Amino acid sequence: MRTDAIDLIGQRFGQLIPYVYYPGITSPGTRFGKWRCLCDCGTIVDVASGELRQHKTTSCGCTRLQKIGAHKRRHGYHGTPTYRSWEGMRQRCANTGNPRFNDYGGRGIVVCERWQSFENFLADMGECPPCLSIDRINNDGNYEPSNCRWATCSEQALNRRPKRALLAKLRGKG
């Protein structure tokens, strides 16, 4: 077992400070040792010697989680009914894999440029009131401030496009 590892005790590698070395399995010319490190956040983590020395690992993972968390907490509405309405609207209009795409994006309905940002959507529509969802006033119009409202299920049911069979009957072809 090799014990000639470069002493890294007390040195700083990003947010990590190694304090104990574990030699591990070695072969000639190769070191597989690990360092037990204390992260600035207080977590203890074992990191391969080479990962530390090459600055490939610089935290216990907390900085990555902080970055992800900060992105998701940008507006604080992630997972709320308002955010889900906005995301659903965008998916129906732009995602060809969405089961409802043919009824929305497939018909040419788009979300206005301003509403590509959730913050703008929220500023224009406000929070989604309980038991309501987004509704286009003109069913053939786009998702935009002048054509949208929060509506009940019964209001939306009155605002649906007629089914093809009903259209054919109304036109005298059925």
Q: Quick: pLDDT tens for 103-147.
A: 999 999 999 999 999 999 999 999 999 999 999 999 999 999 999
Q: Which residues contact 126 (CB under 8 A, 6 or more apart)?
A: 150
d(Cα 102, Cα 93) in Å, to the nearest integer?
Answer: 9
d(Cα 160, Cα 143) in Å, to the nearest integer?
Answer: 15
Instruction: Give this prediction's pTM.
Output: 0.54
**Could you tell me which residue, 4 or 79, shows the higher pLDDT?**
79
Percent of the chain with pLDDT over 90: 51
Q: Give the domain ranges of the chain.
A: 16-68, 81-170
What's the pLDDT at 127? Answer: 93
d(Cα 174, Cα 19) in Å, to the nearest integer?
Answer: 82
What's the pLDDT at 77? Answer: 83
- 16 exposure class (CB count in 10 Å sphere: 0-12, 13-18, 19+): buried
Geometric angle at alpha carbon 138, from 136 and 140, rounded to 5°: 100
Among the listed residues 147, 117, 123, the one whose alpha carbon sits nearest the alpha carbon of residue 134: 147
**Could you tell me which residue, 42 or 134, shows the higher pLDDT?**
134
Tokens of 105: 């994006």
What's the pLDDT at 50? Answer: 85
What's the pLDDT at 2? Answer: 47
d(Cα 33, Cα 22) in Å, to the nearest integer?
Answer: 6
Compute the residue count for the chain. Answer: 174
What's the Cα-to-Cα distance from 63 to each of 42, 57, 60, 67, 137, rounded to whole Å? 12, 11, 8, 6, 45
Q: Quick: pLDDT tens for 76-109.
A: 788 899 999 999 999 999 999 999 999 999 999 9
Confidence of residue 68 (pLDDT cuts 50, 70, 90): low
Confidence of residue 12 (pLDDT cuts 50, 70, 90): very high
